[in-house]
Structure 1
Amino acid sequence: MSSKTKIVVLHMKEVVYTAIFLVLAILMIILVFVMFSGKDKKDTAAKPAEETLYIPGVYTSTIQLNDNSFDVQVTVDANHINSIELVNLSETATVMYPLMEPTLEDIAEQIYLSQSTDNITYSDENKYTSMLLLEAIQSAIAKADAGTGAE
């Protein structure tokens, strides 16, 4: 019996390159499998469509006090009230009605938290200012209402 011994010489560089290509090939197969699996389609089909509350945009309502007029600007997206601010408020109106800005900030903070103009609280000191601002905010939000579509 004659046995012929075969000697195989492997260069370390070739072994390392082969191992790297095998790992990359396995990762590519896993990636393709994850990308084309039907799991994502089932998840998106099961989610109900969220109803939109508002038509996204910026809506204003004008307040007229004596000879001064200024606007309450309400910015909404499809489901949230994002900002409420006074625009076109002159310096004379700010001096004549100093409670206007702090009252609006207080009301706006409550609206941001509840996303509604219902159950807004205000102090007796600025009751009429609060009622005036709240009425203007409600008017601007009514323009953004997706149910009515009024602008």
Structure 2
Amino acid sequence: MSNTKIVVIKLKQIIYGAIFAVLGIVLLILLLALFRSGKKDSGANEDTAKYIPGVYTSVVALNDSTLNLEVIVDKNHINSVQLINLDEAITTMYPLVAPSIKSIADQLCNDVDIASIQIEEDSKYTQTLLLDAVEQTLEKALITPVDHSVDKQADTKK
């Protein structure tokens, strides 16, 4: 007579289907969020990285004695600036060296740009000498080093 078919779906099957559909959607959203945030974070970290982390040294010459300057950096911050072989004879001959390097180190470790460091009047020559050495040492740590050869070529053409 009639071809009417009755489909019987158990409530248990409906619940399982709904749970799997919701889990599938949540998994898809998590995967999309994971891949999108990973790209943004890695790009942001590369933009903010200024230095190659490590310990960098250079030599400062004071008449007949030499001092080893050590700068410790992480990827975007200067952690330490110090003179390694600063003995009593050098501090006696050059009494402004220790306070000058401490002043420079305090400013650099507090995220003051090297071009903005305040030089004290009573030790400006010592601080200038040490600041030049720190700047040369930091150039070794830069991810994209500054090329001064272009400046030197421009100076020779004048």
The interval holding the TM-score normalised by the smaller chain is 0.5 to 0.7
SS in 2 for 1:54: coil
Runs of 5+ unmatched residues, structure 2: 1-25, 148-158
The one-letter amino acid paired with 1:65 is: L
The aligned residue for residue 37 of structure 2 is: 43
**Bigger Rg over Cα:** 1
Runs of 5+ unmatched residues, structure 1: 1-32
The aligned residue for residue 121 of structure 1 is: 118
Which of the two has greater helix per residue? Answer: 2
Question: After alignment, is 141-150 or 97-106 more displaced?
Answer: 141-150
CA distance in 2, matches of 1:98, 1:91: 10
For residue 149 of structure 1, report the CA deviation from its aligned partner: 8.9
- Residues 72/45 of structure 1: CA separation in 2 closer, same or farther (3 Å cut): same
2:103 is aligned with 1:109: no
Report the identity percentage.
Answer: 38
The one-letter amino acid paired with 2:39 is: A
Aligned pair partner of 1:98 in 80, 95, 103? 95
Aligned pair partner of 2:75 in 73, 78, 86? 78
2:53 is aligned with 1:59: no
- Please give the root-mean-square deviation of Cα atoms over the aligned residues, in Å: 2.4
CA distance in 1, matches of 2:116, 2:145: 22
* TM-score when normalising by structure 2: 0.65
Structure 1 residues 37-61: Cα deviation after superposition (integer angstroms, max 9, x where no partner): 4444443334333332112211112
2:101 is aligned with 1:132: no
Structure 1 residues 6-37: Cα deviation after superposition (integer angstroms, max 9, x where no partner): xxxxxxxxxxxxxxxxxxxxxxxxxxx89x94
